[in-house]
Structure 1
Amino acid sequence: MKETFWQGLRRRLLADEVRLQVRAALQTETDNTFTLGARSASAPPHERPFAERREALQQALEAWRVNPLARRIVELTTQYVVGGGITFACEHPATSRFLHQLWHHPLNQLSLRLPEWCDELTRSGNLFILISTDPAGMSYFRAVPAAQIDEIRTRPNDVDQPLEYQPVPGLDGREVQAWPAYQPLEDGPDAGGRFPAVMRHYAINRPAGCVWGESDLLPLLRWLSRYANWLEDRARLNRYRTAFLYVVRSRFTGEGERLARQQRLNAQPPAPGSILVTDENETWEVIQPRLEADDANTDGLAIKKMIAAGAGLPLHFLAEPESSTRTTAEAAGGPTYRRFEQRQAFFLQVIADLLRIAVQRRALAQGRRPGGGRVDGQAVIRVHGGDLSARDNVALGLAGNHILAVVGQLRDRGLIDDRELLRVVYRFIGETAEVEELLEGGKAALPAGPAGRQRGGFPEGKVDLTSGEPKNGGLE
């Protein structure tokens, strides 16, 4: 049968529509279908998607705000890294004066901002510092929350060379102007003497090939939530285990008399320990919930151990005396102090890098102006942190005192020279020094008197390695 003109037209029009519907019905939905556009085209392949990274930052911040254990873990890191105080030294006089002005400037107050920066670095794994400089060359530092950075654009062939940092869009949906990354070879004032605001990014817990760091709390969030839920359940259970009700049985003439008796008892309930005297028409009973709740301390301790292991802390740092012996506690603190030492070294490098940027911008602002007080853009800046533990100082002092007695005898017999003596002594006291500079300074120093020629040796009595105070008996 030959089809008519209208039948052929309808067949051709419906065929395309049917083909599109069948293709849509048979299409396989994948993870990329749902997260389309969530990952930047320039992001490394191992980087977290934007939505996942933002959710992790929000969860870490919320845990720090509401969970006492999370707050304490962050505080412990800050107390050991920054709590002892951070100082700097520069041998160039003009540069040293400028650094003191920068450090104590009312718009910087770095002594107050450093704990905040360390908290942000531990909590989010990223520290974004915005550096703005006035025409006189004074720089000002502001920490930008990691959640406000949408994307870090880097060079296509090197993720360690950032180009700019794109903030999240504004409330109206408009894209905000990106902050350029600090480029030391391209940095300088414009024709009007103004410096552009630049940003510096520092990251911890960053996988190789990635741009973003990760929070110290990220592996702990699940276990912090479980421990909080477990503790809340135990508190509710213990509360309801002590609850009880009075049941009064009596013969009433009617519902009105029963309600009147109940209202009187509710108005004046019997106090605990009081005596009730009733007749044979009224009996009292107590109803208590029989909740068979076994001892769950082992479960809670296991969850807390998981949290402590993830944070790199011994349990006694989290108010959980796992062992009552002092030796066990000191042994457990060794890896923890090493972790804090590594974090402190990283944070000191961050501070030194920011100070060098400020000095270089000051030198560029001064240019070739006549007059003194010019800073040196290449001056060496050393940043020092506080001691993590007083026990380290005592142990190093004892080690230096003992080794000085040994190498002093070797020096007297001519077996080693002064350079080797200084090298060994400074190594045992945990300090680094330029031996040649020490020798030159020693030649210019005045000769020591009889009391100054005394060398180290084994101190008499026992010394407490924690406090450094002498005790009776022999050496430990």
Structure 2
Amino acid sequence: MAFDWLQKRFSRRRAQLRRAEEDNTLTVGASTLWAHSEGPRDRWPNDRGQMLADALEAWRVNPLARRMVGLTTQYVTGSGIQVRCAHAPTQDFLRFFWEHPLNRMAVRTAEWCDELTRTGNLFVLMSSDAAGMSYVRAVPADQIERIQSAENDVEQELAFWPRATLEQPDPQPWMGRGADQAAVMLHYAINRPAGAQWGESDLGPVLRWLSRYGNWLEDRARLNRFRNAFLYVVRTRFSQPLERSARQQALNANPPGAGAILVTDENEEWSVLAPKLESADANTDGLALKKMIAAGAGLPLHFLAEPESSTRTTAEAAGGPTYRHFEQRQRFFLWMLGDVLRFAVGRRAAVDRQLDPRAEIQVLGSDISARDNVSLGLAAVNALNALCELRDRQLIDDAELLRLTYKFAGESVDVEQMLARGRSAGGGPGSRPTPARKPIPALDLENGETKT
């Protein structure tokens, strides 16, 4: 009976999916079968809960897991995050929101980055008072039971249902950002497959290998502890068992110490019984496990206290992909903070007309690698000299000169906007006069000789 009911339900579902899609029936990311809870590409709730618990436990007890999460936070947040806005009232509110004792965003950013790296999800609960001031708290991902999204779009999250507890067996959901309530929840995810609601932890691919490496290392430490343990074996002939027991008691009462001299006759033979580890391949096995962990985390081995006889050149080359990964994560994290700030400004602007909810908010982080700044600076100086020669020969215009200069400096700018700002700034009273350049003679392109 139950099988017939399921078969009819899925038959109707397949018939619905075969119909022509319209604007009102278009499903983005997932079908309506999954629209109210998990996406078709999400983990099952039990599997996700176990993964989150394992990631938290590994972060607590495993030094490598703690180091991987800490490295990401150190590079993403760096020496601090700055918030800028050209609109003065909005900038004043952002500073007040950032430094409020109940927010403490300068300290909270490291906690948020840890949670985002450890679980792959960050649930920010934002509550606002009557004056429009907002306060934020991060809700642990394992306390969210399910996410309710729109029927036609899995990314339009409407409500977040917390996990039931003994104190609250039937909890009420937190509404999404579109709700007109004092408290709403914002959700951000990393490592999220297309069509999924939940993100994936950075520790997810390496949890199994972290456990194996920890067990292997613990076994090696336990065996090494007993490596120097040994037993004396005394071989001789006894006529009766009582004589053997008496001899053993006498030796146990006065065991020979280190460096002691034993004098025996030909009827008694002494030997030592010690463990043989045969650990010639132990280093290779441990290094193979650690390489698997480093590959899953996207970190070079020298980041995990394993130089592996690497030179400085190979270490710098191995750090390139890692820095690029940290740059991408920092870009996402800064965008996330900007989204939270824009949402807080929008709520404040509803009661304070001095604020501009459409004002541009810039969230700036520190450089991932200071060594790159030196290389880019040298490249920009060398390139600028050659580009100025091309500009003097009228082979390129001002826009191309500015674009190439910032390209070698590693910066991406709006060239036309920069030119307009430069023209509006003018020379100014303190500007230096442009040094006179010697006229460059024209060259004959056919023979390369100077034209007279």
Maintained 8 Å contact 2:299/2:322: yes
Structure 1, 274-283 or 385-394: larger mean CA deviation: 274-283
**Partner residue, 1:228:** 214
Q: 1:129 aligns with which of 97, 115, 124?
A: 124
Does 1:49 find its partner at 2:40?
Answer: no
Structure 1, 164-173 or 289-298: larger mean CA deviation: 289-298
Does 1:446 find its partner at 2:429?
Answer: yes
Maintained 8 Å contact 1:42/1:156: no
Q: Secondary structure at the match of 1:81?
A: helix
**Partner residue, 1:198:** 184
**Unaligned 5+ runs, structure 2:** 4-33, 438-452
Question: TM-score scaled to structure 1, two decimals?
Answer: 0.77
**Partner residue, 1:306:** 292
Q: 1:419 aligns with which of 359, 374, 399?
A: 399
**Partner residue, 1:390:** 370
Maintained 8 Å contact 1:248/1:282: yes
Structure 1, 293-302 or 215-224: larger mean CA deviation: 293-302
**Partner residue, 1:275:** 260
Which residue identity is paired with 2:406?
A: Y
Maintained 8 Å contact 1:164/1:178: yes
Q: 1:80 aligns with which of 71, 75, 79?
A: 75
1:329–1:157 CA distance, 2 compared to 1 (3 A): same
1:366–1:41 CA distance, 2 compared to 1 (3 A): closer
Structure 1 position 438, deviation (Å): 2.9
Query: C-alpha deviations, 1:90-125, integer Å up to 9, x for none?
Result: 111111111111111111111111111111111100
Maintained 8 Å contact 1:81/1:340: yes
**Partner residue, 1:430:** 410
Task: Write the mapping of 1:238-253 to structure 2, written as runs, cut at 5 A.
Answer: 238-247=224-233
Q: 1:295 aligns with which of 281, 306, 329?
A: 281
Which residue identity is paired with 2:261?
A: L
Tell me, in whole angstroms, the C-alpha distance in 2 between the residues paired with 1:426 and 1:324: 34
Structure 1 position 379, deviation (Å): 1.0
Query: C-alpha deviations, 1:273-292, integer Å up to 9, x for none?
Result: x3335565976542212344
Structure 1 position 249, deviation (Å): 6.8
**Partner residue, 2:345:** 359
Does 1:116 find its partner at 2:111?
Answer: yes
1:326–1:259 CA distance, 2 compared to 1 (3 A): closer
1:145–1:42 CA distance, 2 compared to 1 (3 A): closer
**Unaligned 5+ runs, structure 1:** 1-19, 25-38, 188-194, 368-373, 456-476
Q: 1:181 aligns with which of 176, 179, 189?
A: 176
Maintained 8 Å contact 1:84/1:388: no
Which residue identity is paired with 2:426?
A: K
Tell me, in whole angstroms, the C-alpha distance in 1 between the residues paired with 2:346 and 2:89: 13
Task: Write the mapping of 1:1-20 to structure 2, written as runs, cut at 5 A.
Answer: none
Q: In the comparison of the two structures, how many residue pairs are matched? A: 400
**Partner residue, 1:164:** 159
Which residue identity is paired with 1:440?
A: R
Q: Secondary structure at the match of 1:130?
A: strand
Which residue identity is paired with 1:220?
A: V
1:355–1:160 CA distance, 2 compared to 1 (3 A): same
Tell me, in whole angstroms, the C-alpha distance in 2 between the residues paired with 1:43 and 1:428: 46
Tell me, in whole angstroms, the C-alpha distance in 2 between the residues paired with 1:72 and 1:326: 22
Query: C-alpha deviations, 1:172-215, integer Å up to 9, x for none?
Result: 561111100112xx54xxxxxxx511100000111110100011
1:453–1:86 CA distance, 2 compared to 1 (3 A): farther
Which residue identity is paired with 1:435?
A: M
**Partner residue, 1:464:** none
1:173–1:142 CA distance, 2 compared to 1 (3 A): closer
Does 1:409 find its partner at 2:389?
Answer: yes
Structure 1 position 361, deviation (Å): 1.1
Query: C-alpha deviations, 1:232-275, integer Å up to 9, x for none?
Result: 2222222233210234678898688557635533xxx5543x33
Structure 1, 347-356 or 288-297: larger mean CA deviation: 288-297
Structure 1, 196-205 or 166-175: larger mean CA deviation: 166-175
**Partner residue, 2:85:** 90
Q: Secondary structure at the match of 1:176?
A: coil
Tell me, in whole angstroms, the C-alpha distance in 1 between the residues paired with 2:187 and 2:119: 12
Structure 1 position 366, deviation (Å): 1.9
Tell me, in whole angstroms, the C-alpha distance in 1 between the residues paired with 2:36 and 2:410: 48
Query: C-alpha deviations, 1:326-359, integer Å up to 9, x for none?
Result: 2211111111111111011000000000111111
Which residue identity is paired with 1:226?
A: R
Structure 1, 58-67 or 345-354: larger mean CA deviation: 58-67
Maintained 8 Å contact 1:423/1:435: no
Which residue identity is paired with 1:241?
A: R
Tell me, in whole angstroms, the C-alpha distance in 2 between the residues paired with 1:405 and 1:41: 61
Structure 1, 256-265 or 342-351: larger mean CA deviation: 256-265
Which residue identity is paired with 1:63?
A: A
Tell me, in whole angstroms, the C-alpha distance in 2 between the residues paired with 1:343 and 1:445: 40
Query: C-alpha deviations, 1:2-44, integer Å up to 9, x for none?
Result: xxxxxxxxxxxxxxxxxx9xx99xxxxxxxxxxxxxx996422
Tell me, in whole angstroms, the C-alpha distance in 2 between the residues paired with 1:215 and 1:430: 30
Query: C-alpha deviations, 1:148-172, integer Å up to 9, x for none?
Result: 0001000011011000100000225
Q: Secondary structure at the match of 1:88?
A: strand
Structure 1 position 320, deviation (Å): 1.2
Tell me, in whole angstroms, the C-alpha distance in 1 between the residues paired with 2:268 and 2:400: 98
Q: 1:142 aligns with which of 137, 157, 163?
A: 137
1:360–1:71 CA distance, 2 compared to 1 (3 A): same
Paired-residue identity, %: 56
